[in-house]
Structure 1
Amino acid sequence: MTLKRNWIALIIVLIITAVIGYNYIYQDHRDIESEQAEFTMSSAQINQLFSENSTSAEQKFLNKTIEVSGFITDINSNDITIDDKVFCQFSNNLETSLNKNEKAKIKGRVIGYDDLLEQVKLDQCTIINN
């Protein structure tokens, strides 16, 4: 009789684990465009925080929505670099009238810091001003 109870308990644990795993993997995606930015700063400010202490800055900013402003130094079909300090990746191709050396304000989610290029990385970006 205890063997049957052990099998039932095992099956219940597996079902609960499967449900929790499914909900974790397939959770709703965040809509960064509609979220309120938690931080607003210049590209130089956020880059300085990461270059001085990347561990502390990651704890503060990682996976947070921020607004960054500065001058565009590189623009491609789906990314913009601001002041050579912040790399902003867009979900879709850019359809904007912005050009190099123009001031821009961009909102996105912080995904990390590239030590080699010394750039803060953002994804799911949107342009706040044109």
Structure 2
Amino acid sequence: MRKRIGILAVIVIALIIGYSYINQSHRDIEHENAEFNVNAIEIASNFSENTSLAETKYLNTTIEVNGNITEVNSNSITLNDKVFCQFTKAIETTLKSNTTVKIKGRVIGYDDLLEQVKLDQCTIN
């Protein structure tokens, strides 16, 4: 009888821990402090020179990146043709190409084919 209760207790604890791990709260990138403040060309050159070192440094971190807008869509901006910033909400249409902006977002990776650093959950500062 004690053995069954012990096994049942272990199973219940494992289920509680598993449920808590799966249902973690989401990060609020907009209100996080940026770990790095970099230029679009600088971060792109870091990734192109040594991708693994740059991923170790920047991947899944919140950064602020500044640069000139080269492309604007309804929910994304490209800076200096090197940094692709994806927004959660639609962005204002008053932004135009060749305008300097500072954007905060989370680094999700580097696209070797397009040679662009990818950010998501971005906001314009």
Same fold (TM over 0.5): yes
- Select the residue among 52, 70, 73 that pairs with 1:73: 70
Identity %: 60
Rounded Cα–Cα distance in structure 2 between residues aligned with 1:118 and 1:5: 61
- Select the residue among 46, 50, 60 that pairs with 1:49: 46
More moved, 14-23 vs 117-126: 14-23
**Structure 1 residue 40 and structure 2 residue 40: aligned?**
no
Q: Note the residue ranges of structure 2 that are not aligned, 5 or more in a row.
A: none
Rounded Cα–Cα distance in structure 2 between residues aligned with 1:14 and 1:96: 54
* Consecutive aligned runs of 4 or more in structure 1 exceeding 4 Å deviation: none
SS at match of 1:97: coil
Rounded Cα–Cα distance in structure 1 between residues aligned with 2:21 and 2:49: 34
- Select the residue among 106, 109, 115 that pairs with 2:106: 109
Rounded Cα–Cα distance in structure 2 between residues aligned with 1:114 and 1:7: 53
TM-score w.r.t. length of structure 1: 0.89
Q: Note the residue ranges of structure 1 that are not aligned, 5 or more in a row.
A: none
User: Partner residue of 2:81?
Assistant: 84
RMSD: 1.3
State the Cα deviation string for residues 28-59 of structure 1 (Å, max 9, x = none). Answer: 11111111111001001101111111111111
TM-score w.r.t. length of structure 2: 0.92
Count of paired positions: 125
- Select the residue among 22, 25, 28 that pairs with 1:25: 22
Q: Which amino acid aligns with 1:115?
A: D
